[in-house]
Amino acid sequence: MSVPWPVPAALALALFLLGVLGLLTRKNLVFVLMSIEIMLNAAGLLFITAGMRWGNPDGQIMLIFVFNLAGAELALGLVLLLRLRNRLTTLDGDAANLLRDSA
Amino acid sequence: MTLLWLIPVLPLLGATVLGLAGPTIGHRASAVIGTASVGIAALIAITIGVQWLQHPPPGEVFNQNLWTWVSLPGFSVNISLYLDPLAMLMTLVITIIGTLIHLFSTEYMQDDPGYSRFFAYLNLFVAAMLLLVLAGDLVILFVGWEGVGVCSYLLVGFWFSDSENGAAAQKSFIVTRIADIAMLAGLLLLSTQLGSLNIQAMLAAASAQWPQGGMLPELAAALLLIGGLGKSAQVPLQTWLPDAMAGPTPVSALIHAATMVTAGVYLVARTHVLFLLAPEVMRAIAIGGALTLLIAALAGLMQSDIKRVLAYSTMSQIGYMFLALGVGAWSAAMFHFLTHAVFKALLFLSAGAISMRLHHEQNIFTMGGLRTRLPAAFWAFLIGAASLAALPLVSAGFFSKEMILGEVWAYPNAALWAAGITGALLTAIYIFRAVFIVFFGPVTTEPSGAYGIRILLPLALLALAALTIGWLETPAFLGGRKIFSGFLTASTGAAGHHPVPVLITLAGCLAPLAGIAIAFALHRSGFWQAQATRSPNPLGRLLRSGCGFDAVYDVLLVRPYLSLVAALRHDPVDLISTGLAGAAIAAHRRLRATQTGRLRRYIAWITAGSVATIAMLLFA
């Protein structure tokens, strides 16, 4: 009836790595945000899997928290994105290097 | 006699006026103020001296308490003047010879742009020197002592636009300062051990509390002596005096011949009660004096600068005074101080008078045949030279040197007497070498200009004194007169004229004559003139440099000190703190390169770091 726990765990790992890969390769900040969401969802999936493995509901509670966090983070991230687009007229993350050491 | 305080105050006043208003009041007013302030002080001193001889004060001491300078529980310093025969003698010599030299300078320095500055310094010097000799307290004496040191520095470097003069001034200041540190230590020792620096109270306490030959009196006397050796240019602190000749000639006459350099002699004579408690130090004084008089006399044989000849002769004659002090012949030392002050001032002034007519030339080998060209300077220099060489009967120097040699003979050490008599022979040779080179032979440089009365009068008066003052004190075979030592009895105790064998007296008479004969023979054979062109052999070079003390000090002290300075210039101790700061800055430069502002690179680093951490947690 149920899948064995390593399968969703491996899926979570694959999703997380995809997210990291997206972070490293994508310039466009919208895609960067999406990559972060994927990583968060991977973490959420791992919580569910862990809850299943040990028969404990805490994993599901944590998932609710993660969703809340993801929603808040996304709202904040999109606002920052809009501000950045107004200021730099681009969504290229590499252009947002104004805080680097000037020397 | 109550006007005593005016004697040092008048020159000080003169120095103040000249120092503040000097450049605005012109040459004439500067000369009048400068000379009059010392001249009036001399008149007061003479008046007091005459009063003294008629009605000596009780105990032959006059103490004038002016005010209290420092008052602490158990220790106080009074500004007080202490006049006794010894101080009286010094005061008379300083003010009278000082006046004559001031008068000479008014003409000698005529064309100098620093005219009023010169007289301001000279007045300040006279004031400090008078404070030194009249001080009733060793602290006040030390104030005067340092005051004359400062004035010597200012006047040696008077023509400061030439950096060599500045270096000579610094040398004279630094060498004497090194000696003064020892003297200051001696004063501190005396004040902590005896509780008072009032000279008479200190001496009384010393003879009451300290045993003869004890450690403390030896140490205190040795420390005071080092101060005196530095000031009086005695071995081993003599190297500054020949270089101090960079100053104007009247300065050399007043400071570096007649007065300041004899301050060491005065100090020892003033505190002779303390020195009597220290027989080892007394022996060192005698040996050091004998050594100095020989070294300086030998160096005098090789000099080509007329002022350096005289500088070495000063050193040598002060060596005689120290020799006399060392054998306890206080009044003989002071008698030689008196005659030396007169004839050496005369020699320096006539040397200055010669060189001012020769466009300030001082090399004796470019002079020659001046006997007929400058008869006044010739006679003045000849009388001074005869007195320096101690020509029997006609010169003052003979009587004082004879007195010293007689006293040294009575002291049980024949080597000291031998040194003294050898020195007398050498003295006659080197000074008459200068006389023959400068005044005889063919004329090489024609003098220009003429002398005014302000040059001739001091020369005449000093020459007269150099011929006659010796008769104040005569050896036994000339009547055994004791006017001078009788006058000093209250200060230095009665001087016993020791009976001296006839042969010894005769030797003292013959040595200068033999010296003059040798100098004349070498002059006839052209030996002296050849010194001008011939490069000297190593021995000659050693003698010319004053036996190489300068070179030794250069290697032993000056160079190590300068290399230490060079090493410390960049603060090696700070390396600890500056090194830490430097390391932090270097690390900062490296790490700054990682702060690129590229978000994705940061992420890559964070990822790599996380992976590394997890890997370590898993596999470690």
Q: What is the pLDDT of residue B497?
A: 62
Residues from B contacting A (CB-CB < 8 Å) are: 592, 595-600, 603-604, 607
SS (HEC) of chain A = CCCCCHHHHHHHHHHHHHHHHHHHHCCEHHHHHHHHHHHHHHHHHHHHHHHHHHCCCHHHHHHHHHHHHHHHHHHHHHHHHHHHHHHHCCCEHHHCCCCCCCC
Number of Cβ within a 10 Å radius of residue A63: 18
B76 and B68 Cβ atoms separated by less than 8 Å: yes
Q: For position B350, what pLDDT does the model report?
A: 92
Is B597 within 8 Å of A103 when comparing Cβ atoms? no
Query: Which among B596, B597, B600 is the nearest to A24, CB-wise?
Result: B600
The larger pLDDT score, comparing residue B531 to residue B331, is at: B331
The answer, yes or no, to whether residue B583 has pLDDT greater than 90, is: yes
Peptide bond into B236 cis (omega under 30): yes
* More confident of the two residues A60 and B493: A60
Q: Kindly report, residue by residue over A6-28, the tens digit of the pLDDT.
A: 999 999 999 999 999 998 898 88
How do residues B240-274 score in pLDDT, each as one tens digit?
888 888 889 999 999 888 888 999 999 999 998 89
Q: Chain A residues contacting B, CB < 8 Å?
A: 20, 23-25, 27, 32, 93-94, 96-101, 103
Contacts of B390 (CB under 8 A, 6+ apart): B397, B398, B401, B402, B424, B427, B428, B508, B511, B512
Q: Do B599 and A24 touch (CB under 8 A)?
A: no
Mean pLDDT value of segment A43-47: 93
Q: What is the DSSP letter of B536?
A: P
Lowest model confidence (mean pLDDT) among B161-175, B303-317, B444-458: B444-458
**Which of the four pLDDT bands, split at 50, 70 and 90, describes residue A90?**
confident
Report the percentage of chain B scoring pLDDT > 70. 99
Nearest CB to B597 within list A27, A32, A98: A98
State which of B312-326, B369-383, B430-444, B487-501 shows the largest mean pLDDT: B312-326
| The pLDDT of residue A94 is above 80 | no
pLDDT band at B495 (very low <50, low <70, confident <90, very high): low
Q: Of B259, B193, B260, B258, whose CA–CA distance to B223 is shortest?
A: B193
Instruction: Name the minimum distance, in Å, from the CA of B593 to any CA of chain A.
Output: 8
Place of tokens 């005695």: B234
The predicted pLDDT at position B239 comes to 87
- Nearest chain B Cα to A97, which residue? B597
Which pair of structure tokens corresponds to residue B357?
A: 């007519």
Closest residue in A to B588 (Cα) is A101
* H and E: helices and strands count for chain B: 27, 2
Q: Comparing B17-26, B220-229, B532-541, which segment has the lowest mean pLDDT? A: B532-541
- Computed over every residue of chain B, the mean pLDDT equals 87
- B597 vs A24: CB contact, 8 Å cut-off? no
Residues of chain B contacting residue A101, judged by C-beta atoms under 8 Å apart: 592, 595, 597
Give the per-residue pLDDT at B25.
84
Report the candidate in B237, B262, B132 with the shortest Cα–Cα distance to residue B178: B237
The mean pLDDT value for B43-62 works out to 88
ipTM score assigned to the predicted complex: 0.82
- Residue B428: which residues within 8 A CB-CB, separation 6 or more? B389, B390, B391, B511, B512, B513, B514, B515, B516, B518, B519
Q: Is the pLDDT of residue A103 over 70?
A: no
Q: Is the pLDDT of residue A100 over 70?
A: no
pLDDT in tens, B91-149: 999 999 999 999 999 988 888 888 888 999 999 999 999 999 998 888 899 999 999 99
**Does pLDDT of A101 surpass 70?**
no
Shortest distance, CA A18 to any CA of chain B (angstroms) = 13
The rounded distance, in Å, linking the Cα atoms of B242 and B310 is 9
Reported pTM: 0.79
State the pLDDT confidence band at A102, using cuts at 50, 70 and 90: low
The region of weakest confidence among B71-80, B214-223, B401-410 is: B71-80
Written as six digits, the tokens of B77 are 């310093």
> Which of chain B's residues have a Cβ under 8 Å away from the Cβ of A100?
595-598
pLDDT, position B375: 87
CB contact under 8 A, A100 and B592: no
pLDDT in tens, B423-457: 999 999 999 999 998 888 888 878 888 888 888 99
- Please judge whether B604 and A101 are an interchain contact, meaning their C-beta atoms are less than 8 angstroms apart: no
What is the pLDDT confidence band of residue B154, given thresholds at 50, 70 and 90? very high
What is the per-residue pLDDT for A14?
A: 95
pLDDT of residue B290: 92
pLDDT for B494 equals: 66
